[in-house]
Amino acid sequence: MASVALRSVSKSFGHVPVINDVNLEIADGELVVFVGPSGCGKSTLLRLIAGLVPVGAGDVVIDGEVVTDIPASKRGIAFVFQSYALYPHMTIARNIGFALETLGLSRQEIDAKVAEVAVTLKIDHLLARRPRELSGGQRQRVAIGRALVRQPEVFLFDEPLSNLDSDLRMEMRMEIAKLHANLAATMIYVTHDQVEAMTLADRIVVLNKGCIEQIGTPQQLYHAPQNRFVAGFIGSPRMNFTAVSANVSGASCHLMGPGNLSLDVAITGPGVPAEIGVRPEALSIAAARQGKLTGTLERLEDLGHEHLAYVRIAPETAWSVRLPNSLARTALGTSIGLDWRFEDLFLFDKDGHRLDHSLSHERSAAANGALA
Amino acid sequence: MKTRLERREHRSGLLFVAPLIAVLILVAGWPLARTLYFSLTDAYLDDSANHVLVGFSNFVEVAGDPVWWRAVRNTLIFTTISVAIETVLGLAIALLVHQAIPGRGLVRAAILVPWAMPVVVSTKIWEWMLNDQFGVVNRAIVGLGFADHGVAWTANGSLLLGVVIFIDVWMTTPFMVLLILAGLQILPEEIFEAAEVDGIPWWKRLWSITLPLLAPTIGVAVLFRVLDALRMFDLAYVLAGANVNAMTMSIYARDRLINNQELGVGSAASTMVFLLIAFVAIFIVGALRLDRSGATER
Amino acid sequence: MSTRIKRRSGAYYRAMRRVRQIALGCVTALLLFYVLFPYYWAIVSSTKQGAQLYESVLLPALDFRHYKELFRDANFATSIFNSLCVAISTTALSLGLGTLAAYALGRLNFPERRSLLLTVLMISIFPQVVVLSGMFELIRWFGLYNRVWSLVFAYLIFTLPFTTWVLTSFIREFPRELEEAAIMDGCSHWRILTSILLPLMGPALVSTGLLAFILAWNEFLFALTFTLTEGSRTVPVAIGLLAGNSRYEYPFGPIMAASVTVTLPLIALVLFFQRKIVAGLTAGAVKG
């Protein structure tokens, strides 16, 4: 097995920079997930590690060895593609065993290995078929089998589940988690689906515009995002934001904003808050003028297991609230208050960096401590 | 029972294709029928109305003419060798151009030049380049010390067919390249990336992935080229006229028909060309079909 | 216990990549030479006079006497004019008829469709010599022998199936939703074709038209057979029959000048519309 490291890696396509000075260390046996909005460079980063795309600058290191100049075929990695990339003219058995044909193994050895992998992935009854005759989930299993059979040092997954429907996706997610637990192999997994990221990852790398925004455990990203981008990206529905004006006097700071916001916070570091954020699940409904914010109930969504309320606090800003029980008795258009606990408040400066305030600081420290 | 809507669609469909059908009957159906008819008569071109039916004697005459069989042989040799070379060369160039090579756009454009030139022009240019005394090819051969004196490319009967093949390869390989390149471009890139990551060496990628996936495209391209080569007329005619060393079936038929004014015999020869090409077409289409259905069953 | 792959140092692969790049560059240069040199040589030769022609100097002599003579020659100008008339009329006719038929063949559902498409395809592989005698009779019958219009008529046998086939492939690629909206609005098929599809078919018509034009411009067999006198020849026949007094006086200089002249617009056209031409060539073949 192997560790993977990226050292000051950059890449541009023509004059368009795609990856911008990325540094990353991935430990042996770790499962790291790259997430980010589309076009953030996460797939490109994976391809750089695989050697499918040559790096522009910097080095890729696998197992302590610089492999920047080594072609993809010699890097000892396996890649699972979003489109599965199965060979359409070959049987499933040959698809899985194809890479072994060049390693000088005998027919029997190849067949034995293919059979073993097929049993692990429950596709042993499909070996004589062709990719076109298989369902999406089955094809995905074959693609994973093709990676498994080579016993590579590093597995790379490029949005492997995004072409599956949601049931299958959940099933395959568990399958991949199980594989990782059994193989203890290093895995890098690219997805735009934060549920996959949160559930699978040992650590998550959040990418935006070719730069790493934050690296951390799922809990760190959720509870202690370093900036507004990560705060907004992780969590669903996304965090509510609103711009505020701050009146700083010493360590204490008075915040004013839409929805009759008027709040005192204690800032523990340098910086002036320009925006606040609260997660929908941290909000609770209070009577009008009772909470920290006031707004108009605009829309209610009953999802069965939970309810979402949309509260307009300013002409261009509506906050979403996630509630365990219904607000059925509240009429739309009613003015209501929103409340939250102090530790659930996130503050950001005008550049989007998160500012520690006394309560949230303690809390994030606790989160870090618990995970370390 | 057809619905009214279907009937209406049927009617307007026929209306739209009616001009096409009318023109095709006029320019293809009728002349073809007349050719078939003339092949059974003793008509001469200068007075085609004055003829009697003579049964299959024209076919017997053509079949008994050693020059005809020479033309058939030339055509078959020409078709086999030139299409084979064009396919291999076309595949190689297509694979090259498909790579990220410097000046790829320029190469793609340049490849179209030989294809766009009129056959007559290409032939004339090569005839000049291959001229035994003053041609640049012979100059180069002598100048570089490969031979003491130039080769009589076009004057030597035994080399003539080879020269025809050479020029045809130059003219029509671009067509092959374009078709194969288009076929390459619709293949999903990720399949090749998967093979690369899996450590498959390039020759095995070519043999086990690219070629099988490209086979239908190559099959269609070969079909087009073979049918085109079998009816070849202009290149050999401009280069060698009715010289038997390079005479193709089409040249033979036209020679009998126009130069000898033998409308009956010429039509019989044309009919035989037609039958031969139809036979080859059916054979190749059948082979392509078999290949495809075989691939799906297994 | 993973299967360890044999590999060499990064420097080795870096060197290999370099070697590969150089090799590819050389092969590409060779290919460009192979493809372009003959035309270049025609240009060089066309500007040489008399004895110069027989020396293998690789640079053009820039003597344009052959061109001046060529353009003073009324017959050559006439044949260019003939070629233009024939190629343009043939292209226009084939595009018109082809578009009508392609709409029906590509979009409408009627039982004869498949067999008609097959017939069209079969006619396009017809050896021209098969219809030669029948066509000859027909042309004489219409009184078109030795007139350029006989060629417009004859060329339809290969341009029309070709345009129909390629345009059908193009039309099939347009999303059906386009016309479904119009059908809901009660448009007739004629209106759908003229006011919805036709405006979108510009690029397809250009591709197909260029190819039909090139086919007609380059044709030799019919042009050789159905015209007799210099005044009604097309360019390929004029060049093909341009000959000197004897084998040793073969007028290569003037022939090269004529070749360069008639090919230049063609090459310009092809290079300018490169993408369109490739699209047209492959639309019929790869997907069809």
Identify whether residues A279 and A210 lie together within a single domain. Answer: no
Residue A127 confidence (pLDDT) above 50: yes
Partner B, chain A 141-160, Cβ-Cβ below 8 Å: 146, 150
Contact C243, C230 (CB under 8 A): no
Please tell me the distance from the alpha carbon of residue C134 to that of residue C153, in angstroms, as a whole number: 13
Residue B250 has its nearest CB partner, among C127, C255, C256, at C127
**pLDDT computed for residue A343 by the predictor:** 85
Please tell me the distance from the alpha carbon of residue A134 to that of residue A140, in angstroms, as a whole number: 10
Contact A250, A301 (CB under 8 A): no
**pLDDT computed for residue B143 by the predictor:** 81
Q: What is the DSSP string of C82-131?
A: HHHHHHHHHHHHHHHHHHHHHHHHHH---TTHHHHHHHHHHHHT--GGGG
Give the nearest chain B residue to A157 (CA atoms). B194
Residue B204 confidence (pLDDT) above 60: yes
Please tell me the distance from the alpha carbon of residue B119 to that of residue B233, in angstroms, as a whole number: 10
Partner C, chain B 170-209, Cβ-Cβ below 8 Å: 170, 174-175, 178-179, 182-183, 186, 199
Q: Which site among B51, B93, B121, B139 would you substitute to test the C interface, given the most C Cβ atoms closer than 10 Å to its Cβ?
A: B121
Q: For residues C77 and B165, which has the higher predicted lDDT (pLDDT)?
A: B165
Residue A1's pLDDT band (cuts 50, 70, 90): low
Closest by CA to C238, choosing from C268, C265, C217, is: C217
Final residue of a structural domain among A187, A203, A231: A231
CA distance B274 to chain A (A): 36
Burial degree of A213 (CB within 10 A; 0-12, 13-18, 19+) = buried
Helix (H) or strand (E) holding C213: helix C202-218
Other CB atoms within a 10 A radius of the CB of residue C201 amount to: 21
- Residues spanned by the domain of A277: 236-371
Amino acid at A296: T
Report how far apart, in Å, the C-alpha atoms of B137 and of each of B119, B120, B151, C169 are. Answer: 20, 19, 9, 43
Please tell me the distance from the alpha carbon of residue A294 to that of residue A313, in angstroms, as a whole number: 6
Is A46 near chain B, with CB under 8 Å?
no
> Could you tell me what percentage of chain C is helix, strand and coil, using 3-state DSSP and rounding each to the nearest 5?
80, 0, 20
CA distance C146 to chain B (A): 14
Is B201 near chain A, with CB under 8 Å?
yes
Please tell me the distance from the alpha carbon of residue A215 to that of residue A200, in angstroms, as a whole number: 15
Q: Which site among B190, B197, B204 would you substitute to test the A interface, given the most A Cβ atoms closer than 10 Å to its Cβ?
A: B197
Is C109 near chain B, with CB under 8 Å?
yes
Contact B162, B169 (CB under 8 A): no
Partner C, chain A 90-109, Cβ-Cβ below 8 Å: 103
Question: Strand pairing partners for A245?
Answer: A256
**pLDDT computed for residue C146 by the predictor:** 81
Summarize pLDDT for C215-238 with one digit per residue, the tens.
899 899 999 988 888 888 888 888
Summarize pLDDT for A52-94 with one digit per residue, the tens.
999 999 999 998 889 999 988 888 899 999 999 999 999 999 9
Q: What is the DSSP string of C144-159?
A: -TTSTHHHHHHHHHHH
Amino acid at A365: A
The tokens of A167 are what? 């049931």
Q: For residues C124 and C32, which has the higher predicted lDDT (pLDDT)?
A: C32
Residue B190 has its nearest CB partner, among A71, A85, A101, at A85
Decide if A52 and B200 are in contact by the 8 Å CB cutoff. no
The tokens of A268 are what? 């523990």
Percent share of chain B, pLDDT over 90:
38
- What counts of helices (H) and strands (E) characterise chain C? 14, 0
Residue C190 backbone phi and psi in degrees, to 5: -60, -45
The tokens of A35 are what? 């997430």
**pLDDT computed for residue A9 by the predictor:** 93
State the Cα angle at A143 between A187 and A9, rounded to 5°. 40
Partner C, chain A 67-86, Cβ-Cβ below 8 Å: 67-71, 74, 76
Residue C189 has its nearest CB partner, among B12, B21, B119, at B12
Decide if C28 and B126 are in contact by the 8 Å CB cutoff. no
> What is the number of structural domains in chain A?
2
Please tell me the distance from the alpha carbon of residue A141 to that of residue A150, in angstroms, as a whole number: 15
Q: Which residues contact C141 (CB under 8 A, 6 or more apart)?
A: none
Residue B48's pLDDT band (cuts 50, 70, 90): confident
Strand pairing class (A186-190; A31-35): parallel
Amino acid at B195: A
**Lowest mean pLDDT, pick from A123-137, A358-372, B32-46, C155-169:** A358-372
Residue B298 confidence (pLDDT) above 50: no
Residue A74 has its nearest CB partner, among C2, C3, C7, at C7
Q: What is the mean pLDDT of residues A187-201?
A: 92
In the Cβ-directed half-sphere of B88, how many Cα atoms lie within 13 Å? 5
Decide if A153 and C2 are in contact by the 8 Å CB cutoff. yes
Contact A34, A45 (CB under 8 A): yes
ipTM summary value: 0.87
Identify whether residues A165 and A122 lie together within a single domain. Answer: yes
**pLDDT computed for residue C200 by the predictor:** 83
Identify whether residues A180 and A310 lie together within a single domain. Answer: no
Strand pairing class (A31-35; A203-208): parallel
Final residue of a structural domain among A231, A247, A268: A231
Is A89 near chain B, with CB under 8 Å?
yes
**pLDDT computed for residue C240 by the predictor:** 83
Identify whether residues A149 and A268 lie together within a single domain. Answer: no
Residue B223 confidence (pLDDT) above 70: yes
CA distance B79 to chain C (A): 14
Task: Please report, for the domain that includes residue A77, its CATH number.
Answer: 3.40.50.300
Is A29 near chain C, with CB under 8 Å?
no
Closest by CA to A230, choosing from A244, A241, A246, is: A241
Residue matched to tokens 């293919």: A114
Report how far apart, in Å, the C-alpha atoms of C267 and of each of A284, B111, B118, B136, C178 are. Answer: 74, 11, 10, 23, 36
Determine if the peptide bond prior to A237 is cis (ω within 30°): yes
Is A133 near chain B, with CB under 8 Å?
no
**pLDDT computed for residue B224 by the predictor:** 86
Final residue of a structural domain among A231, A264, A292: A231
Task: Look at chain C and count its residues.
Answer: 288
Contact C165, B17 (CB under 8 A): no
Residue A98 has its nearest CB partner, among B198, B212, B295, at B198
Identify whether residues A265 and A350 lie together within a single domain. Answer: yes
Residue matched to tokens 């029980």: A325
From first CA to last CA, the distance across chain B in angstroms is 39
Decide if B193 and A52 are in contact by the 8 Å CB cutoff. yes
Residue A101 confidence (pLDDT) above 50: yes
Residue A46 confidence (pLDDT) above 90: yes
Residue A69 has its nearest CB partner, among C3, C4, C14, at C14
Is A151 near chain C, with CB under 8 Å?
yes
Is C145 near chain B, with CB under 8 Å?
no
Identify whether residues A320 and A348 lie together within a single domain. Answer: yes
Decide if C1 and A68 are in contact by the 8 Å CB cutoff. no
Q: Which residues contact A94 (CB under 8 A, 6 or more apart)?
A: A87
Decide if C13 and A103 are in contact by the 8 Å CB cutoff. no
Burial degree of B193 (CB within 10 A; 0-12, 13-18, 19+) = buried
Question: Strand pairing partners for A255?
Answer: A246, A263
Residue C3 confidence (pLDDT) above 70: no
Residue A291 confidence (pLDDT) above 90: no
Q: Tell me the three-class secondary structure of chain B, residue by residue.
A: CCCHHHHHHHHHHHHHHHHHHHHHHHHHHHHHHHHHHHCCECCCHHHCCCCCECCCHHHHHHHCCHHHHHHHHHHHHHHHHHHHHHHHHHHHHHHHHHCCCCCHHHHHHHHHHHHHCCHHHHHHHHHHHCCCCCCHHHHHHHHCCCCCCCCCCCCCHHHHHHHHHHHHHHHHHHHHHHHHHHHHHCCCHHHHHHHHHCCCCHHHHHHHHHHHHHHHHHHHHHHHHHHHHHCCCHHHHHHHCCCCCCCCHHHHHHHHHHHCCCHHHHHHHHHHHHHHHHHHHHHHHHHHHHHHHHHHHC
CATH architecture of the domain B39-297 equals Orthogonal Bundle (1.10)
Decide if C3 and A103 are in contact by the 8 Å CB cutoff. yes
CA distance C178 to chain A (A): 28
Give the nearest chain B residue to C5 (CA atoms). B199
Is C274 near chain B, with CB under 8 Å?
yes
Enumerate the residues of chain C whose CB falls inside 8 A of the CB of residue A151: 1-3
Domain ranges of chain B: 1-31, 39-297
Closest by CA to A205, choosing from A8, A6, A32, A4, is: A32
Domain ranges of chain C: 10-54, 65-285
Other CB atoms within a 10 A radius of the CB of residue B218 amount to: 19
Please tell me the distance from the alpha carbon of residue A256 to that of residue A272, in angstroms, as a whole number: 13
Other CB atoms within a 10 A radius of the CB of residue B105 amount to: 9
**pLDDT computed for residue B76 by the predictor:** 94
Identify whether residues A159 and A281 lie together within a single domain. Answer: no
Residue matched to tokens 């199980």: A178
Task: Please report, for the domain that includes residue A331, its CATH number.
Answer: 2.40.50.140
**pLDDT computed for residue B251 by the predictor:** 92
Enumerate the residues of chain C whose CB falls inside 8 A of the CB of residue A153: 2
SS3 A134: coil
Is B227 near chain A, with CB under 8 Å?
no
Summarize pLDDT for C175-205 with one digit per residue, the tens.
877 777 777 777 788 888 887 788 888 888 9
SS3 C286: coil
User: Taking phi first (over 0 means left), then psi (-120 to 50 degrees means alpha), and beta for anything else, what does residue A352 get?
Assistant: left
Is B108 near chain C, with CB under 8 Å?
yes
Please tell me the distance from the alpha carbon of residue C117 to that of residue C279, in angstroms, as a whole number: 20
Contact A91, A127 (CB under 8 A): yes
CATH architecture of the domain C65-285 equals Orthogonal Bundle (1.10)
Question: Strand pairing partners for A13?
Answer: A16
Enumerate the residues of chain A whose CB falls inside 8 A of the CB of residue B197: 50-52, 72-73, 75, 77-79
Q: Which residues contact B244 (CB under 8 A, 6 or more apart)?
A: B67, B70, B71
Residue C10 has its nearest CB partner, among A1, A69, A151, at A69
Partner A, chain B 253-282, Cβ-Cβ below 8 Å: none
Contact C94, C167 (CB under 8 A): no
- Global pTM reads 0.86
Helix (H) or strand (E) holding A294: strand A293-302
**pLDDT computed for residue A23 by the predictor:** 94
Strand pairing class (A31-35; A293-302): unpaired
Enumerate the residues of chain C whose CB falls inside 8 A of the CB of residue A74: 5, 7, 13
Identify whether residues A147 and A290 lie together within a single domain. Answer: no
Identify whether residues A224 and A249 lie together within a single domain. Answer: no
Identify whether residues A199 and A247 lie together within a single domain. Answer: no
Residue A125 backbone phi and psi in degrees, to 5: -85, -5
**pLDDT computed for residue B272 by the predictor:** 92
Residue A226's pLDDT band (cuts 50, 70, 90): very high
| Mean residue pLDDT across chain A | 88
Contact C106, C172 (CB under 8 A): yes
**pLDDT computed for residue A361 by the predictor:** 43
Residue A102 has its nearest CB partner, among B188, B193, B200, at B200
Identify whether residues A196 and A343 lie together within a single domain. Answer: no
Is C182 near chain B, with CB under 8 Å?
no
Q: Which residues contact A175 (CB under 8 A, 6 or more apart)?
A: A121, A141, A144
**pLDDT computed for residue C249 by the predictor:** 60
Identify whether residues A219 and A268 lie together within a single domain. Answer: no
Summarize pLDDT for C62-89 with one digit per residue, the tens.
777 888 888 888 888 888 899 999 999 9
CA distance C116 to chain B (A): 9
Summarize pLDDT for B96-143 with one digit per residue, the tens.
998 877 778 888 888 888 988 899 999 989 988 888 777 888 888 888
